[in-house]
Amino acid sequence: MKLSALFREAGRNIVTGTTRFALLGILSAVVFASLVLLDALTTSGLVASAERFRSSGAATEILVAEGRVDGAACEALAGVPGVTASGALRSSARKITIATLPDAPVPAHEVSPGFSAVVSDRAGSPSGVLLPRELADMIRAGLGDEVATDAGPMRVAEVFDYPSDGRRPGFGYAILSVGSALGSYDECWATAWPQLPNLRTLLLATMSPSAGDGADKPQIMQLNSSQGASFEGNASFTDRLTRAAAPAAAVIAAGIGFAGVRMRRLQHTSALHAGLRKGDLLALGLLEAGGWAAAAGVIGVGAAAVGASMVERGDQFAVFASLVGIPLAGVAGALIGTAVAAAAMSEKHLFRYFKDR
């Protein structure tokens, strides 16, 4: 048969309901969409866990070496691939009194410009002071406001969240004054996401070469250890129960395609008996299956788009690319199952099928 004739015949079979287009298409669509959304829920849960780990400060490591941290070297860590932010900090013995809180002096620290990106998502080199949100709310100060203190007016360069969720205490009620990156500091904070196994080595490299041998041994700690020492995101994603969703979609769709041909076995063997070539029967079956499988695949892709919208915008494309493989595998499986069933059709089975009808 000519290709145009095959298309016309497939179209007639679809329109007249011979192919059971609606039944096979709806059944496949339900399978594809269900598997996609199940995997999407699992993946979104893992993404949420990763974001919770990062936002809690668990991905931030701190080097404590009083007076021995090179501020410029600490700032330079932000240029290392994988390190998202870094900044140095040194404490002051003097406390600052805010005009609206005269009876509650606030501990003061000086930080390098990059420190703002460690405690907040705002990049750049701010000028002024960084305030934890709890303190900012107490004095009703916002970004860009000036705060009257006994040390003179201070402009709020950033308001950052520092909840009591297991983070290192002492910075939920403090003033962080942004200074120069030059000079010696007491601590170096660095955030790496995904986590870097050599981050602690990089932190130790920020110590000044002139540090005395008799000084206290430097310490490295996690900003927030309540979420665990590390986040095994790759292992969790690889070992998730729904990792077999794409193969499952292919196998189930192959069974649907195979069953769709077998339900019309008497019709197909009669066509072969009437002179239809096996190759034409195979091509016709693939055209018909391609119709309902493609329709189900489009619904599955739509479900993948919905599933990708469950995660943060930055991760949506990667999640969509992972999910869309499920309906694509299902469409391929439907065509394979149809091809196998059509290839197995033989004219010699006509009378047996006729008797079993």
- Write out the DSSP string of 41-100: HHHHHHHHHHHHHHHTTTTEEEEEEEEEEEHHHHHHGGGSTTEEEEEEEEEEEEEEEETT
* Dihedral sign computed on CA atoms, order 121, 122, 125, 127: negative
Report the percent of the chain where pLDDT is more than 70.
84
At 331-351, the pLDDT tens digits run 999 999 988 887 876 555 544
Q: Residue 154 — pLDDT band, cuts 50, 70, 90?
A: very high
Please name every residue paired with 158 in a beta bridge, in sequence order, or none if there are none.
130
Q: Residue 298 — pLDDT band, cuts 50, 70, 90?
A: very high
At 198-221, the pLDDT tens digits run 999 999 999 987 655 556 789 999
Region 85-105: mean pLDDT is 91
Q: Residue 168 — pLDDT band, cuts 50, 70, 90?
A: very high
Rounded to an integer, what distance in angstroms lies between the CA atom of residue 245 and that of residue 35?
6
Structure-token pair, residue 157: 């360069």
Contact 19, 260 (CB under 8 A): yes
Sheet holding 146-147: strands in order across?
146-147, 154-160, 129-132, 175-178, 101-111, 83-98, 184-192, 60-70, 219-222
Q: How far apart are the first and last CA of the chain?
A: 28
Within 13 A of 197's CA, how many CA atoms are on the CB side?
Answer: 1
Residue 11 has pLDDT above 70, yes or no: no
Measured N-to-C along each axis, helices 278-308 and 325-344 cross at an angle, to the nearest 10 degrees, of 160
Rounded to an integer, what distance in angstroms lies between the CA atom of residue 233 and that of residue 45?
11
- What is the model's pLDDT at position 351? 47
Q: Rounding to the nearest 10 degrees, give the CA dihedral for residues 205, 165, 127, 192.
A: 40
Rounded to an integer, what distance in angstroms lies between the CA atom of residue 181 and that of residue 185?
9
Rounded to an integer, what distance in angstroms lies between the CA atom of residue 95 and that of residue 308?
48
Q: Give the least confident one: 31-45, 94-108, 258-272, 316-330.
A: 258-272
Residue 102 sits at φ, ψ, to 5 deg, of -65, -25
Rounded to an integer, what distance in angstroms lies between the CA atom of residue 283 and that of residue 219?
71
Q: Give the least confident one: 69-83, 107-121, 129-143, 274-288.
A: 274-288
Residue 135 has pLDDT above 50, yes or no: yes
Rounded to an integer, what distance in angstroms lies between the CA atom of residue 347 and that of residue 316?
51
Contact 156, 145 (CB under 8 A): yes
